[in-house]
Structure 1
Amino acid sequence: MAQVTVRVGGYSHPVSCEDGQEAHLVALAAELDRRVASIRAMGGQYGESRLLLLAGLLLADELHDMRVDLSAARGGAPLPAAEASSASDPRLAERIARLAERIEGIAATLDRP
């Protein structure tokens, strides 16, 4: 298991990942950091946990829109949110669960004094 330190929202976070996935994880963190920066640019005072929550929701919304677009491009009618969920793809559900665990771990370290 590899260890990578990523920077999101001006804070460094050590994160474990599978060997060989370090560059991918750094790219994912950079995307999350871009979302956090865009939320900060809107104004308002948010704690780190709130920023990560809002950035995660932006990414989840974009993922949902992409699924709907993909379904339409494949010739199917746009899927309702319930049908477009990860439940239809067990591998995707597992990846989302792992990502959620990572996010919760990062958020937990941010909540510590």
Structure 2
Amino acid sequence: MGQVTVRIGGYSHPVSCEDGQEGHLVALAAEVDRRVHSVRSMGGSFGESRLLLLASLLLADEVHDLRVELSQARAGIAPADNPQMAERLTRVAERIEGIAAQLEAP
């Protein structure tokens, strides 16, 4: 079992992960940290838990939007402002599914 210490919002957090996933976990933590810095730049004084909550909500909102776009791409529905977007999203979805299949393979 791998272990890394990630730094988010100025706080260190030890986190366990599967062996070989350390780099991926560090990259995910860096993305969360960017969101925390984004929340901080909005002003206000937030504690660690509030910062992480707001950063999580920002990430969840983005994931939701991407899921909607992916669902539309799979259904062949192109966004009105860019008709080629559905095709591009389908290719990206296929690549993501291929990577996920590789990660799940023994």
Number of positions where the alignment pairs a residue of Structure 1 with one of Structure 2: 77
- So what's the TM-score if we normalise by structure 2? 0.69
Please give the alpha-carbon distance, in whole angstroms, between the structure 1 residues aligned to 2:16 and 2:49: 19
Q: SS in structure 1 opposite 2:45?
A: coil
1:76 Cα deviation after fit: 5.7
Q: Distance in 1 between matches of 2:72 and 2:62?
A: 15
- Does residue 43 (structure 1) correspond to residue 37 (structure 2)? The answer is no
Partner Cα separation in structure 1 for residue 60 and residue 11 of structure 2: 22
- 1:71 deviates by 1.0
Partner of 1:70: 70
Q: Structure 1: which 5+ runs fail to align?
A: 78-113
Q: What are the superposed Cα offsets for residues 44-67 of structure 1, whole Å, 9 maximum, x if unpaired? A: 010000000111111111000000
3-state SS in 2 of match to 1:6: strand
Distance 1:75 1:17 in 2: 35
The 3-state SS of whatever aligns with 2:19 is: coil
For the pair shown, which has the larger CA radius of gyration, 1 or 2? 2
Q: Secondary structure at the match of 1:45?
A: coil
Task: Find the aligned partners of 1:72 and 1:27 in 2 and give their Cα distance.
Answer: 28
Task: State the shift of 1:72 in Å.
Answer: 1.0
Identity %: 79
Shift of 1:75: 2.2
The separation in 2 between residues aligned to 1:54 and 1:32, in whole angstroms, is: 10
TM-score, normalised with respect to structure 1: 0.65
* Structure-2 separation of matches of 1:2 and 1:23: 10
Over the residues paired in the alignment, what is the CA RMSD in angstroms? 1.1
Moved segments of 4+, more than 4 Å? none
1:7 counterpart letter in structure 2: R
Task: State the structure with bigger RCO (CA 8 A, min sep 6), 1 or 2.
Answer: 1
